[in-house]
Structure 1
Amino acid sequence: MPSERLEMNDMARFSSETNLTDGKKFPWGGCYLSTALGFVLVLLAVLIAVGVGVVVYFAAGREVVCDCRMLEVNDGVVSAAVKQQCQKLAQRGNTDICDACPRDGSKTTALATSKKAKVKDVRLPRSLEPLYYDLELQPFMYSGNVDEFSFRGYVSIVLDCREATNNVTLQANKLMIIDGTVTFSALSSTTSSVPAVTSWELDEERQFLVIHLDEEMKVGEKYVAALNFTGPLKDDLHGLYLSSYVRGDKPVYLATTQFQPTDARKAFPCFDEPAIKSRFNVTLIRPSHLTALSNMPVKDSSRTWTDQGIDWVADVFETTPKMSTYLLAFVISDFVNLNATTSNNITYRVWARPESIGQAHYALEVGVKVLTFFEDYYKIPYPLPKQDMIAIPDFSAGAMENWGLITYRETAMLYQPGVSSEGDKQRVAVIVSHELAHQWFGDLVTPSWWDDLWLNEGFASYMEYVGVDFVHPDWKMFEQFVAEDLHNVFDFDGLVTSHPIYVPVYHPDEINEIFDRISYGKGACVIAMMKHFLGPNTFTKALTNYLRERKYDAAFHNDLWAAMTKQSQMDGKNLDVKAIMDTWTLQMNYPIVTLTQIDKDNVKVTQSRYLQDPSAIDPGKYESPYDYKWDVPVTLTSSVERHFNQTHGHVHWLWKSAEEATIYLAGQLPDVSDDKGWIMGNLGQHGYYRVSYDHRNWKALCAQLSTDHQVIPPINRAQIINDAWSLAKGSYLPMEIALQTVEYLQNEMDYLPWDVATSELSYVDTMLSRTGLYGDFEKFMTSKIQAPFSKVGMNNTGATHLQSYMRSLLSSKACYYDDSSCLDNATTLFRQWMADPAKNPVDAGLKGTVYCTAIRQGGLEEWTFAYQQYKLAQVAAEEARLLTAMACSSHIWILSRYLELSMMHSEIRKQDALKVISSIARNKIGRSLAWDFFRANWPTIHSEHGGSFFALSNLIGSVTSSFNTEFDLQQLNDFMAQNPNQGSGNRAFLQAVEKARSNIAWMEQHYSTLKNWLGKLSL
């Protein structure tokens, strides 16, 4: 990327002030000291600091260090002065420790261990630009001790000198550089003077490899740095790593990669930042009986030799286009493929282990259709000559968009009709579509730095629905988008511990933290909102222009806004897209838009910030540049008009600078005195905001649901439920009104409203499950589920996709709340399977319910059978379903044994370990057990899964989701205080604290209301 483009980044040239291009200077500038004198001074400073700390500690008597502060503790009670200090520090952004310190005078355990500050200056200097890499890798995983498997490599990098410098600074992690192999030379023999290597060093904390030269390189000259290295080949799911599966009773190994975001440097020394693109010449060395795959097709395999009984082949691949290191991919395995050719002559292959290749037909079918569709949608041909997709047995994420070689978890790519469910089928289609969307948005054009991760993931998370809707329009993907993404991320983004879409990140732990629902879900939702207010034609034309302008390069989000604004003006809409979208991307949370009918012609519109717990103390880590005001695109209709399918031409604007707006709708509104007349906003829920009304309007909407709910489309029925319950959670709306939104459910037969309602009611279930009110709540749920469940039953024959979803949902809830016919059906089917394991009589769409119910109702015999079937399963979706179902046991000792098995990777794959703990945490009987196990095994969990995208944060959320007492909160605070170094789990812990406080407030405010309401229903 040209240097002038880098200045567009808000983080001031990647936020790195360290000048590594001049070996004579310290990073902070200033005076220069000899090494000996510097060492003496540093040692003296350390001794003084230690001495002062000791004196302060003993002089204060009861003062101890609480992270980076001194807290005065009197018999474990935090004083008012200290609470005030804590709050002040919280406002300045010291959230790492302030949320672990009670603000209410309760007892605390102060820390004696300080949290070590992360090194944040981890960005590379930009004095050199890599033009080409020649990379050769050879894994050794075929004999001997698996713990000693390794790989060796050679890399040669052609460098263009942009600024004079006397060192080459690369990134490397967990690699051993071979002494004597580091070389530096000129690319051309005409270069007059070539610097020589004087030394090299590894800065492990910053993951740098620095090659020092005896003189500076000259600007404009081309040089070549080369070296040999080795690395361990471990099953750690990052970098170049080891995966395996079992054939017969023997393990079969493969080497594969996961480089995003910062693990290409774990496979070879490189410039491992997304904006530093280059071309790659890759050679992979393999035994002759295996296959090697990379981003490009193989061009030569003629080099062969035999060494220690192994016949080796060197596969040389075609040169890649200019691309980021994190998008490289390598796989060496014994996998086989299915293939097809697209209408635009792209070779398309899907790969899996030989035993599973028959399950890859659907992924191939969907992939070919979606790839061709996206070529037409983007108006840009797919840039590579081939597209491979491969299902990896051990994989930390769902899938990875490596350019031309997409890697998948097996459950995300493999589908077996009759064994896999409709949900499994949709998962494959959605993830394939997501990764193919990335081939343009993310791969062809890449964000300049990880602060714009959302540009990648938010866009692909929206486009996945566009691609699947093209292939399966009957699946109503945009209805599902509302529940799967919008409502889901609303919960996350209603916290003060959320973060803006665009957020500064430095250390790899911080980068991993933002692989979360904000970057994916909120990013998708604001893009969907933008598409709606611009209109689809303006949106797609601007997108094509953006991709064409920035192809094979990196971009900043302002580049996208500029393309959208320009096209908007060309199409006569004259919207400043940057000004609008900055209000959604540069501040966290979202608004409540309140609509108040003034008279028969006018509606008043106002906005306010939504918080799940309005009393939560905002840590001030992210200041809002707009005082939590947004530019809001408003749509609305009424009981008179009932126009729900409004386009961009019907959008009204509430600007951030206005206190309110008035929408004039002559003749389209009911009389304000009409108790049955209503207005409704955010039609189709295209907007990223909640809507509220006065109490009269809310009651009219609830009455409409009770009398004829089909007047309102399923998306907006779901919206009424989700908005009302979320507003009640934050005390913006009386709980009595939220409860009225679900009183009609016995008449609801559409999947989406039921899906949203059960999500809200599951929260109530969790909150009440340890109270005396739970029995009455069970009766209410049974009364609502009974009628629709009796209509759909448990016979899934001939059901459409969404009918299957509805049947699965209602069956699951019916069995959960002990409906006798559901229990009998489930246990009978499971017993039939146990009697004849070769013939499973359970419909694929009901397997999750049947397995869980039978194991919950049964004992060791049922659990052991399920575990045996899990070990024998040849379909990944079936394996995953059994893994979850085994957590349904009602026997503490069985759950305890299962938790122990989760940490034995010979029994449960490492990628699935945290899923076991999370599933047991969701079991009412197992939640305390899971929390205790989590605490006892935190060092191992953190070490093995700290860099695994969503996995760690999801686990933290799962094991703490039911916390709703002061005792629960104190346990959480104590654990955080005792374990201050939380790595990529830090944000998730802070959110767990906030959610626990919100749950406590919810119980205090709403328990009595629920008690009265449930009491009336039971009369």
Structure 2
Amino acid sequence: MAHATEDKNFRLPLSVRPRRYAATLTLDMEARAFTGLQTIELELDTPTDEIVLHAIALKLGEVVFRAADGRIIMPAETHEAPLSETVVVRFGEKLPQGQGALDVTWTGRFTEGLRGLYMAGKVAATQFEAADARRLFPCFDEPSFKARWALTVQVPTGLTALSNGALEREESDGNMRRLTFKETEVLSSYLIALVVGPLVGTPEERVEGIPVRTWALPEKAHLTRFGQDAALAALPRLQAYFDLPYAFGKVDQVGIPDFEAGAMENAGLITYREIALLLDPATAPLSVQKRVAEVVTHELAHQWFGNWVTMVWWDDLWLNEAFATWMAYKIVDDWKPDWRVWLDFDSGKAAALHLDALRSTHPIRGEVRNAHEAGESFDLITYEKGGAVLRMIEGFLGQDAFREGMRQYMRKHARANAVADDLWRALAQASSQPVLELANAWIGQSGYPQVGVTVNGRKVKLTQRRFYSEPGVKSDERWPVPMVLKYADAGGVREQRVLLRESEAEVTLEGSGEVKWLVANAGSTGFYRVQYDATGLERLSANVDALEPSERISLLADQWALARSGQATLTAFLDLAGRYGQEEDDAVLDELVGGLAYVEGRLVEGEDQERFRRWVEKLLGAGFKKVGWDAAPGETDRVKLRRAALVRALGGVARSPEIIAEARPRVARALDGDTTALEPNLLDAAVGMVARQGDRALYEKILEKMPVEPDPATQRRYLMALTAFEDPQLADAAQKLFFTEKVKMQDVASFLTGLINNRTGRNMWWAEKQKRWKDVLARTGAAPMLLRRVVESLGALRERKQLDEVRKLLTAHPVEEAKQAMGQTLEKLEQDVVLRERALPEVRAWLQRQK
């Protein structure tokens, strides 16, 4: 009879549970190998003759079971089960019920990719989520098996070693140091971490008694201050929100030179991709500062939500990530209200709305049968839609009731595991609202509604059906839609809340007099699209200045989505875009420029493309003349970001010869180290647009500067600029660079996307990519997030012939770790191709009508 472990969906039995790990690891950095020995203190619910541990590529040595009564029981055999990534230790007799201990020794090697224990340049680092602790320790590698961890490591002298607990003891023996770390609180195995390398840290600073330090390689030590400040600002705010002290003793934050995700919330030792932690505030664009603040706060929010109260299984991973996503914006907004980070949250939500309009989308909470499937869940639906649904529920319940429910949940499940329904019950109790109905409809059902709105006097007719981006697809699913209607009448501007449960409803608006205009998603907090009738849309377009920035963004975004899905014309979208010429809000301009860039890049060609560029230049040129290239003394961030959006529009979309001519000498000065040549928020756009038309001398200069640049945001700017050169020989040179170590593993997907977006190099690169598909995939080191993004990069292709080739490639050589991404990318690309074929004549006719 086959053993249960011969199934990749095998789950550990709950009858044997770890209580404490005491492990010693010895690292050989030269040989990239390690040895380990540990004692796992166990609790056995019933007598058993086997213990199952997770382990990948570990060679077990001596294994001994010690019973509470002092008996030593040796195993009869150990059996590896590669399918379930486990090792079964079988004994010739039953192990007694109650407490016992398992002693294990083992050896293993560093992983080649970015998981388990691996080398990131000069730094050895771990990355265990979802299920890679088993690459370093034989352990119970599922989130519900929480235990205390007491770690000791032996590493070469001269290197810094960090782990979850503070350093308790240190002994030196010539070439090796033995470091013992303080035992942790109970933790799931995916939250354990170890980092070893020539790192330097900021001086320790305490906030409400918690020591905080930020670490980096010595040449990047000057870039740690901002990330340190972000942690010092977030910790007290999080303690106050949860009404619960931080539980893990200290906070260390480390910039890792090669890292798959953005960051990882290991308890007390948070690891980051360098670009998500390190920056110089004097030269960093505001977008980089906001991103670092948001990521630092996201990971610290996890110390409560995820680390203190942990999901039972990976099917609730979404709750971990959605909560931390939403919470990070809440905390950063409190710290830096001038940043208006909720508008950045909306742009993440917009990306999730696009993905969730596909037939191949998935519910926020789906079935996860094994740890590999959990890896596929790290996407926009999990993070951004999940966060948006939490925000929508909070908006409906009110902030105070939501926070009280959250505190009840944290108190009740402290140090333990919980499922989503535990949270909904706590929120329902605190708010006396139908939270279970609301939440489970939104997380268990994929997609979202399109709400139709018709205003007749003071009556509003509301309808709902599922929104699909594919023209002609319909279904009659319904949601409980928590709506906030906002409208102007004789008494001024007012709001009214409605819970739309049916497929249609009629609402009478409170107040009196004529309704001048109505927004059906006030503050844009709802996760749905709105389709106004012609009169309603015309009234909003005429009063666009009366709307909040988030509502002006939604109006554009919804109109664009309706045009894509064939329910509105592209002409209507372009007419609406033409009303935003006087727009001064940077976030609204970002939305506008994104839509215009799509049209210029995909929906016009030849003379039409040139005509469209001149239309964009005319629309936004006057706005740029007002702000000019250089920042005035005391200028606000709003103006700086407006200027950056306009430079992207005029230099990037319109390819204005005048703008590019002005940018060229400024970029040359900036590359020579002149920090006054370009206001920091202009750097990305200016370097990119100048590189597109650049010559070999510029290419060589950027190539030389890129690898030695200490600032990660600047390094990334140079890396992406290398993919932008449109001189065919330079486009070819950048393509060859992809297969070299010059492009770090963490950056392969971004670099690939840059190459496929290059207009002169695209077809040549696509032909090469098809021939060398296996080599392309190999560059990711099989990291699931990177594989997903490699597949998604194929969505940048344009034509039907390329769509057929993508389908053929993915059928012949599927990427098993990115099944969802394959389906989504093919569906999206097909819609883009159909839209292009439909739009080319429509946009041409519209352009001919423009003066």
TM (normalized to structure 1)? 0.80
Matches within 5 A, 1:700-849: 700-705=539-544, 709=545, 711-770=546-605, 773-797=608-632, 798-816=634-652, 817-833=654-670, 836=672, 841-849=677-685
8 Å CA contact 1:931, 1:960 repeated in 2: no
Query: What are the superposed Cα offsets for residues 434-478 of structure 1, whole Å, 9 maximum, x if unpaired?
Result: 111111111111111111111111111111111211211101111
Match of 1:610 in 2: 467
User: Deviation of residue 162 (structure 1)?
Assistant: 2.0
- Aligned pair count? 849
Work out the CA distance in 1 between the residues paired with 2:56 and 2:645. 46
8 Å CA contact 1:127, 1:164 repeated in 2: no
Match of 2:522 in 1: 683
Work out the CA distance in 2 between the residues paired with 1:644 and 1:763. 35
Match of 2:733 in 1: 897
Work out the CA distance in 2 between the residues paired with 1:554 and 1:336. 35
Name the CA shift for 1:724/1:643 in 2 (closer, same or farther; >3 Å). farther
Name the CA shift for 1:989/1:299 in 2 (closer, same or farther; >3 Å). same
Structure 2 counterpart of 1:217, from 95, 101, 106: 95
Amino acid at match of 2:349: L
Matches within 5 A, 1:125-164: 125-142=13-30, 148-164=31-47
Name the CA shift for 1:540/1:833 in 2 (closer, same or farther; >3 Å). closer
Structure 2 segments unaligned to the other structure (5+ residues): none
User: Deviation of residue 734 (structure 1)?
Assistant: 3.2
1:277 corresponds to 2:146: yes
8 Å CA contact 2:23, 2:150 repeated in 1: yes
Amino acid at match of 2:724: C
Identity %: 29
Match of 1:421 in 2: 285
User: Deviation of residue 757 (structure 1)?
Assistant: 1.4
Matches within 5 A, 1:989-1000: 989-1000=822-833
Instruction: Name the SS for the 2:723 alignment partner.
Output: helix
1:695 corresponds to 2:534: yes
Work out the CA distance in 2 between the residues paired with 1:800 and 1:461. 27
User: Deviation of residue 421 (structure 1)?
Assistant: 1.8
Instruction: Name the SS for the 2:43 alignment partner.
Output: strand
User: Deviation of residue 25 (structure 1)?
Assistant: 6.5
Match of 1:182 in 2: 63
User: Deviation of residue 590 (structure 1)?
Assistant: 0.3
Structure 1 counterpart of 2:54, from 161, 171, 183: 171
User: Deviation of residue 960 (structure 1)?
Assistant: 2.2
Work out the CA distance in 2 between the residues paired with 1:641 and 1:950. 53
Structure 2 counterpart of 1:651, from 472, 491, 497: 497
Work out the CA distance in 1 between the residues paired with 2:494 and 2:57. 55
Match of 1:298 in 2: 167
Instruction: Name the SS for the 1:661 alignment partner.
Output: strand
Work out the CA distance in 1 between the residues paired with 2:177 and 2:74. 34
State the Cα RMSD in Å: 2.2
Work out the CA distance in 2 between the residues paired with 1:27 and 1:424. 48
Work out the CA distance in 1 between the residues paired with 2:219 and 2:493. 49
Amino acid at match of 1:900: K
8 Å CA contact 1:197, 1:211 repeated in 2: yes
8 Å CA contact 2:49, 2:95 repeated in 1: yes
Match of 1:339 in 2: 203
Query: What are the superposed Cα offsets for residues 328-369 of structure 1, whole Å, 9 maximum, x if unpaired?
Result: 110112211113433411111111111211111111111111
1:559 corresponds to 2:422: yes
Query: What are the superposed Cα offsets for residues 116-154 of structure 1, whole Å, 9 maximum, x if unpaired?
Result: xx9542322222100111111121114xxxxx4211111
User: Deviation of residue 479 (structure 1)?
Assistant: 2.3
8 Å CA contact 1:363, 1:428 repeated in 2: yes
Name the CA shift for 1:166/1:841 in 2 (closer, same or farther; >3 Å). same
User: Deviation of residue 235 (structure 1)?
Assistant: 4.7
Amino acid at match of 1:225: L
Structure 2 counterpart of 1:442, from 285, 306, 309: 306
Matches within 5 A, 1:390-401: 390-401=254-265
User: Deviation of residue 717 (structure 1)?
Assistant: 0.7
1:971 corresponds to 2:805: yes
User: Deviation of residue 234 (structure 1)?
Assistant: 4.1
Match of 2:817 in 1: 984
Instruction: Name the SS for the 1:890 alignment partner.
Output: coil
Instruction: Name the SS for the 2:468 alignment partner.
Output: coil
Match of 2:508 in 1: 664
Instruction: Name the SS for the 2:83 alignment partner.
Output: coil
Instruction: Name the SS for the 1:744 alignment partner.
Output: helix
8 Å CA contact 1:121, 1:206 repeated in 2: yes
Instruction: Name the SS for the 1:389 alignment partner.
Output: strand
Work out the CA distance in 2 between the residues paired with 1:533 and 1:757. 29
Match of 1:80 in 2: none
Match of 2:75 in 1: 197
Instruction: Name the SS for the 1:320 alignment partner.
Output: coil
Structure 1 segments unaligned to the other structure (5+ residues): 1-23, 29-117, 143-147, 245-252, 570-574, 619-626, 672-676
Amino acid at match of 1:422: L
8 Å CA contact 2:322, 2:384 repeated in 1: yes
1:534 corresponds to 2:397: yes
1:588 corresponds to 2:456: no
User: Deviation of residue 840 (structure 1)?
Assistant: 7.5
Amino acid at match of 2:374: I
Work out the CA distance in 2 between the residues paired with 1:154 and 1:398. 31
Name the CA shift for 1:718/1:731 in 2 (closer, same or farther; >3 Å). same
Instruction: Name the SS for the 1:741 alignment partner.
Output: helix
Work out the CA distance in 2 between the residues paired with 1:508 and 1:241. 20
Name the CA shift for 1:932/1:339 in 2 (closer, same or farther; >3 Å). farther
8 Å CA contact 2:210, 2:251 repeated in 1: yes
8 Å CA contact 1:342, 1:348 repeated in 2: yes
Work out the CA distance in 1 between the residues paired with 2:327 and 2:397. 16
Work out the CA distance in 2 between the residues paired with 1:228 and 1:669. 80
User: Deviation of residue 645 (structure 1)?
Assistant: 7.8
Q: Which has the higher mean CA deviation after the structures are superposed, 858-867 or 409-418?
A: 409-418
User: Deviation of residue 381 (structure 1)?
Assistant: 0.6
1:1016 corresponds to 2:814: no
Instruction: Name the SS for the 1:662 alignment partner.
Output: strand
Work out the CA distance in 1 between the residues paired with 2:667 and 2:349. 36
User: Deviation of residue 271 (structure 1)?
Assistant: 0.7
8 Å CA contact 1:458, 1:519 repeated in 2: yes
Work out the CA distance in 2 between the residues paired with 1:839 and 1:340. 31
Name the CA shift for 1:933/1:644 in 2 (closer, same or farther; >3 Å). farther
Name the CA shift for 1:128/1:756 in 2 (closer, same or farther; >3 Å). same
User: Deviation of residue 641 (structure 1)?
Assistant: 6.3
Matches within 5 A, 1:26-425: 26-27=3-4, 120-142=8-30, 148-178=31-61, 181-189=62-70, 195-219=73-97, 221-244=98-121, 253-302=122-171, 304-306=172-174, 310=175, 312-425=176-289
8 Å CA contact 2:451, 2:531 repeated in 1: yes
Amino acid at match of 1:550: H
8 Å CA contact 1:917, 1:930 repeated in 2: no
User: Deviation of residue 205 (structure 1)?
Assistant: 2.0
Match of 2:407 in 1: 544
User: Deviation of residue 1005 (structure 1)?
Assistant: 3.5
Work out the CA distance in 2 between the residues paired with 1:897 and 1:1004. 32
Amino acid at match of 1:1001: V
TM (normalized to structure 2)? 0.96
The structure having more radius of gyration, on CA atoms, is: 1
Work out the CA distance in 1 between the residues paired with 2:580 and 2:57. 56
Instruction: Name the SS for the 2:716 alignment partner.
Output: helix
User: Deviation of residue 188 (structure 1)?
Assistant: 4.1
User: Deviation of residue 979 (structure 1)?
Assistant: 0.7
